[in-house]
Amino acid sequence: MSETSTPGPHYAALLQLLRTSETIWNSSRIFFERWELSPAQFNLLNLLTDPGEGLTQSDLSRELLTHRSNITGLVDRLEKRGLVGRRDQAGDRRAWRVVLTPSGKRLMTEILPHYYRATERVWEGVSVRQAGVVAEVLKGVAANTQDAIARLERENP
């Protein structure tokens, strides 16, 4: 007799979550082509749009859920295009303060209205209330995932 292993009742939802996210990411690549930006580049610029003081590369890596070393090249390329700059971080000579240049600010001012409109179009047919519920559930799922991994790393050194 063969031992069969079957997916649990939430499995389909997990697949759909990953698929939808992948679809959005791939589509956003086409969306941002117009400004010759990759999704990763846009997300980095987007993080720098609010805080006037800029962020360190470590801050950026934490926000973007990516490794420190990945930020080096991202900032390099955006710096070469004149969209961001590396400024000294007062009181810490290890770190950079990455800031939007005026050119980078202008670009984001142009893109953001299009971006916000596009994000709303993507949720067409979903009430704000329901989107809130979905976001809340997904927040819990992310927290569960973190917990599970923390447990895994505690048990396997």
Partner DNA sequence: GTTAGATTGTTGACATGTCAACAATATGGC
Partner DNA sequence: GCCATATTGTTGACATGTCAACAATCTAAC
Residue 148 binds its own copies, judged by CB under 8 A: yes
| Cβ 98 to DNA shortest distance, Å | 7
Q: Which residues contact 45 (CB under 8 A, 6 or more apart)?
A: 37, 78, 83, 84, 100, 104, 107, 108
For position 47 contacting its own copies by CB under 8 A, the verdict is no
Binder among 69, 80, 152, 154 for its own copies (CB under 8 A): 152
Per CB under 7 A, 156 contacts DNA: no
CB 99 within 8 A of CB 49: no
> Which range, of 2-10, 84-92, 114-122, 130-138, touches DNA by CB under 7 A?
84-92
**Closest by Cα among 31, 15, 98, 34 to 64:** 98
Which of 128, 154, 155, 157 touches its own copies (CB under 8 A)?
Answer: 128
Residue of 36, 65, 154, 157 interacting with its own copies (CB under 8 A): 65
Stretch that binds its own copies, among 8-16, 53-61, 69-77, 84-92 (CB under 8 A): 8-16
Provide the 3-class DSSP secondary structure of residue 148.
helix
Task: Identify residue 139 by its one-letter amino acid code.
Answer: K
Which 111-140 positions form the footprint of DNA (CB under 7 A)? none
How far is it, in rounded angstroms, from Cα 21 to Cα 16? 8
- Is 142 one of the binding residues for its own copies (CB under 8 A)? yes
120 belongs to the binding site for its own copies (CB under 8 A): yes
State the DSSP code for 87.
E
The CA distance from 120 to 122, in Å, is 5
DSSP letter (8 states) at residue 83: S
Give the binding site for its own copies (CB under 8 A): 3, 5-14, 16-27, 30-31, 34, 65, 109, 112-113, 116-126, 128, 130-135, 137-142, 144-146, 148-149, 152-153, 156
